[in-house]
Amino acid sequence: MTPERTAAAAAATDPDPPSAPLPCGADLILRVFEAERVEVCFGIPGGAVLPLYDAFARGTAVRHVLARHEQGAGHMAEGYARASGKVGVTIATSGPGATNLVTPIANAMMDSTPLVCVTGQVRSAAIGSDAFQECDIVGVTLPLVKHSWQVRDVEELADVLHEAFRLARSGRPGPVLVDVPRDVQEAPAGAALAAPVARLPERAPEAQALAAVARAIEAAERPVLYVGGGVVNADACAELRALAERARIPVVTTLMAKGAFPESHELFFGWPGMHGARWANLAIDRADLVLAVGARFDDRVTGRLDAFAQAATIAHFDVDPYELGKVRAAELPVLGDLRPALAGVRTALRAAPRTDAWIEQLAAWRERHPLAYDETAATMLKPQRVLQVLDAALRDHPDVIWSTGVGQHQMWAMQYLRCERPRSFLTSGGHGTMGFGLPAAIGARAARPDAAVVCVDGDGSFQMTPQELACAVAEDLPVVVAILNNGGLGMVHQWQTMFYERRLSHVDLSQPADLALVARGFGALGLTVRTEAELLPSLEQALACGRAAVLDVHVEPGEACYPMIMPGAPAAEMVEWPGR
């Protein structure tokens, strides 16, 4: 523990520290955090938030993790929220500090991650004068948040902050922003703390809608549960499993829902979409009933929309009314919280399931179209093989969390890592943010200190946020980063090869970075891996070293990620390998 943290912890336990200043707006912010049961927040100090950081120095029960870049702080807060199910909190100063949060805010909005962002602002009298580091961050983020506030009166500060937490976690979760001018942070707080605002009551689904879905399940011969990340956000995974088992319905999960249903379960049939399993896409294509639960019919899942699940009746469950019918019309819309909705459908079922033949068909497709890669001409480690080794090494760990960056490695991680529990696979879905993996892993480790947290990254994605290794080391949040280093921007390389007549343009990252050396420069363990014989011992050393560690695993350059839905093609016509 650092001297700063020791002093802050001692002050937090002293009910009346000597010479304690009267509470001001900055103290009020921390008292609200405590009332909202915030355990950890992530940020970087700067001029417009110096009063808030002075309040940290005076003492609080909230742990502050010092990131090295505000984007990293935002992704750490996302990783914390996704791993814990709680609201993530991040702090930034005005101007560039606030604008550096824009990418995590957009990422959180797309992936429905509850996030409270507190930004400093120039003094109220200077707003609108183009003062140093002034930025209208409320206006900048307006399309990217559930709501935002600029608080000009300290008497309103506690109420606004409590409302921010309520809104971030209620309904469809997402990010909110509270912008606090410096003079408001310094103003005497005066009024007593407001109480936390109760979460919005559950939106109960209509019994008639649930009964209609139950009757559709009983009539169906080829039903499929198409499960999205909303099931994880709603903590509805137990209800999902109970419904699937009661009605004997096969389950496919999106990238954001990976782990929502145990992947060793007999009813689990993979991941639909662009780089999902062929049999998962066939399941949706041939289904007569698709139960979309907390999923939004993303274009990366559907492929050509007019060819998606043409033979199926669509039942769409969502807490967000704007999602129902937004992309694909649903004959059976179910608006409401997912836990009571799934439980209600299960209760309404009367007839015995009759899906055995359908499950046998899916199993036959899975056997006929296995995930595979060509090792015959390999001169280096195959990235798929690296994932298989990592998966086998950690499969029996009681609590493992995987995070990823964005690119080919992300898709291979989806395919080859088996997840049995929700909140064990953290990735950037809708926004596709390179650089997400490492800071998200650090946030996850802060949320679950006993977990083994492993970030699967690419060399391109890793180089977006490598400075956060320094944060992981300094804050004693050990994570392991396994870089599938193919010396380039692999997904862009694949697309340029396939669709631009092999004209490779600015995708070569092979020189001059030594990523293991970079890791050691930040105080982490850095190991270079070139052979399979080196991989497992290096992983074991990384897990046991007690600090952040990086495995720079050199893999076959130019390896393409298959299977794949070609642009504009139906999902059912995905290509397994060129020529197949």
Q: Any idea which of 217-226, 241-250, 296-305 has the lowest mean pLDDT? A: 296-305
Predicted confidence (pLDDT) per residue in 79-102, tens digit: 999 999 999 999 999 999 999 999
Q: What number is the average pLDDT over the span 488-515? A: 93
Q: What is the pLDDT of residue 192?
A: 54
Coil, helix or strand at residue 522: coil
Q: What is the value of pTM for the model shown?
A: 0.94
Count CB neighbours of 574 within 10 A: 24
**How far is the CA of 282 from the CAs of 270, 380, 431, in angstroms?**
11, 33, 26
Q: For the chain, what are the domain ranges?
A: 3-186, 207-368, 383-554
Number of other CB atoms surrounding residue 394 within 10 Å:
18
Give the pLDDT mean for 308-332: 95
pLDDT in tens, 277-286: 999 999 999 9
What pLDDT does residue 577 have? Answer: 77
pLDDT in tens, 394-451: 999 999 999 999 999 999 999 999 999 999 999 999 999 999 999 999 999 999 999 9
Mean pLDDT (whole number) for 135-157: 96
Q: How confident is the model at residue 580 (pLDDT cuts 50, 70, 90)?
A: low
Topology given in CATH for the domain delimited by 3-186: Rossmann fold (3.40.50)
The single-letter code of the amino acid at 534 is E
Report CA torsion sign: 516, 517, 518, 524.
Answer: positive
At residue 234's C-alpha, the angle toward residues 348 and 410, to 5°, is 120
Examine the pLDDT at 21 and tell me if it is beyond 50.
no
Would you state the pLDDT for residue 22? 57
Q: What angle do CA 476, 479, 483 make, to 5 degrees?
A: 140
User: Whose structure tokens read 């033949």?
Assistant: 357
Continuous segment of H or E residues that includes residue 79: helix 70-84
Tell which CATH architecture fits domain 207-368: 3-Layer(aba) Sandwich (3.40)
d(CA 408, CA 92): 32
Q: Is the pLDDT of residue 477 over 50?
A: yes
What percentage of the chain exceeds 90 in pLDDT? 88
Percentages of the chain per state (helix, strand, coil), in multiples of 5:
40, 15, 40
**Predicted confidence band at 189 (pLDDT cuts at 50, 70, 90)?**
confident
Work out the average pLDDT over 177-189.
96
| Local structure of 73: helix, strand or coil | helix
Task: Answer whether 207-368 and 383-554 agree in fold.
Answer: yes
Q: In 237-309, which ranges are E strands? A: 251-253, 289-293
Q: Tell me the DSSP string of 413-446.
A: HHHH----STTSEE---SS--TT-HHHHHHHHHH
pLDDT for residue 199:
66
Question: What are 524-546's pLDDT values in tens digits?
Answer: 999 999 999 999 999 999 999 99
Question: Which of 446, 474, 469 lies closest to 457, judged by CA?
Answer: 469
Q: Which residue has the tokens 């782990």?
A: 259
Mean pLDDT, the chain, as a whole number?
93
Beta-bridge partner residues of 551: 482, 527
What pLDDT was estimated at residue 58?
A: 92
Residue 11 pLDDT level (bands cut at 50, 70, 90): very low
pLDDT at 512: 86
Q: Are strands 400-404 and 425-426 parallel, antiparallel or unpaired?
A: parallel
pLDDT band at 3 (very low <50, low <70, confident <90, very high): very low
Which position has the higher pLDDT, 64 or 196?
Answer: 64
* Strand ranges, E, within 325-451: 332-335, 400-404, 425-426
Supply the CATH classification number for the domain 383-554: 3.40.50.970
Average pLDDT on 202-230 reads 95
229-234 mean pLDDT: 97
